[in-house]
Chains A and B, each alone.
Chain A
Amino acid sequence: EAGVAQSPRYKIIEKRQSVAFWCNPISGHATLYWYQQILGQGPKLLIQFQNNGVVDDSQLPKDRFSAERLKGVDSTLKIQPAKLEDSAVYLCASSLAGANSYEQYFGPGTRLTVT
């Protein structure tokens, strides 16, 4: 089966600019996650969707980050305005819904560099 798709793979922007990332989860996966992975650290959850509803966005910096999953499939993550500390890899992951569906599958990520 096809994996999680993300685009773009790389992005370089200047601080205060805006940027958007796109994710297409594995077909049939109702749960979608966005993680931020700073160099040398483990991924940190930014937001979790179940279909088109937000389950957890407690670690999303809402003053500059936003995310949506309007039709319960693809999702976009936006940063506006970007700061230097936003330089990281943004990983999208998906999993089946359900009480015993734990396995998360990751996309290749988008490497963001803010200069």
Chain B
Amino acid sequence: GENVEQHPSTLSVQEGDSAVIKCTYSDSASNYFPWYKQELGKRPQLIIDIRSNVGEKKDQRIAVTLNKTAKHFSLHITETQPEDSAVYFCAATLKAAGNKLTFGGGTRVLVKP
């Protein structure tokens, strides 16, 4: 089955700096890669996703890049703000497995004002 590794597990940045989270996946047939943001005690919220036929996608201050050859994808947050503080999860899904999501272990991001 699919296995997703996420690094780092914690990330502390100064407000205004950039944050980068990296994930690797094991199944080369995986075709959809979402990123979720989870604030303390709340539900995971989809913030951006990318499909396997695209190399990069951007939405305001967040962007995701995908390297299919290396089987890794990354989340980039620019001009970080205190409200970006949360746990971020990457995930990968395999269409042939009924679009089942396999999540990484999460990255706790702290943006210091």
Which residues of A pack against B, CB within 8 Å?
31, 33, 40-45, 48, 50, 55-56, 91, 95, 99, 101-109
With A41-B105, A41-B106, A42-B103 in contact, is A48–B43 under 8 Å at CB?
no
B: interface residue count bin: 20 to 34
Complex contact A102–B34 (CB within 8 A): yes
What residues of chain B have their CB less than 8 Å away from a CB belonging to chain A? 4, 6, 32, 34, 36, 42-46, 49, 51, 89, 91, 93, 95, 97-106
Select which of A33, A42, A99, A109 is within 8 A of B105 by beta carbon: A42
- For B91, give the chain A residue with the smallest CB separation: A42
Q: Is the Cβ of B43 less than 8 Å from the Cβ of A109?
A: yes
Given contacts A43-B44, A45-B101, A109-B43, 13 further A-B contacts (CB under 8 A): A41-B106, A42-B91, A42-B103, A43-B103, A48-B98, A48-B100, A55-B98, A56-B100, A95-B99, A103-B46, A104-B46, A108-B42, A108-B43
Q: How far is the CB of A72 from chain B (nearest CB, A)?
A: 16
B49 touches A102 (CB 8 A): yes
For B106, list chain A residues within 8 Å (CB): 40-42
Of all chain B residues, the one with the shortest Cβ separation from A103 is B46
Q: Are A102 and B103 in contact (CB under 8 A)?
A: no
**How many angstroms from the CA of A107 to the CA of B83 in the assembled complex?**
21
* Residue from A50, A106, A108 in contact with B98 in the complex, judged by beta carbons closer than 8 Å: A50
Query: Contact: A105 with B105, CB < 8 Å?
Result: no
27 A–B pairs (Cβ distance < 8 Å), ordered by A? A31-B99, A42-B4, A42-B91, A43-B89, A44-B103, A45-B100, A45-B101, A45-B102, A48-B98, A48-B100, A56-B97, A56-B98, A91-B43, A91-B44, A95-B99, A99-B95, A102-B32, A102-B93, A103-B34, A103-B46, A104-B101, A105-B46, A106-B43, A106-B44, A108-B42, A108-B43, A109-B43
